[in-house]
Amino acid sequence: MRNIILIGYMGCGKSTVGKALCRQIKTELLDTDQIIEQQEKISIRQMFEQHGESYFRNRETQLLEQLLMDSFYGIISTGGGMPLKEKNRELLARLGVVIFLKASADTIYQRIVSDQSRPLLNGKDKRKEIETMLKERLPKYEQAATFVIETDYKEVEAIAQEILSLMNTLD
């Protein structure tokens, strides 16, 4: 068995799909953002405010290294920026099968328009910022991915089934 690692932009469904996968294959879900918050004892928003984005990105790398040493097995839901660093893309590939959950800017905007917990979008034109960030991040997400799954207009359970079908092609 291999880890299933879910990557993609914020609001693409990583946590929701991760929970559905866990129900279907009876395994553990690890949300990297939640783990970092627990370890740091502050929210990601506070981390960005107090220490800056680079501090948080370094914590993501440290967590991936820790997961490799701990021999974690299960579903890993990553923060949206985790695959941006080359080192993280390498670590993700070593950890398991990387699934890029790809959603359009329209879908993402609809899902997160009222969410105030997204530090990279607060105080900005969310729609424009989403489009800009997606253009910048798309090549890195695709580079990191073993598989890409379009999530627009799909039910969560159908996405989970698609992932499991792809995993079966690897055996």
At 8-25, the pLDDT tens digits run 998 899 999 999 999 999
The model's pTM? 0.92
pLDDT in tens, 23-69: 999 999 999 999 999 999 999 889 988 999 899 999 999 999 999 99
CATH of the domain at 8: 3.40.50.300
Report how far Cα 126 is from the mean position of its chain's Cα atoms.
19
- Overall number of domains in the chain: 1
Q: Is the pLDDT of residue 74 over 80?
A: yes
Q: Range of 74's domain?
A: 3-169
The pLDDT of residue 122 is above 70: no
Mean predicted lDDT score pLDDT of the chain: 90
pLDDT above 70 covers a percentage of the chain that reads 92
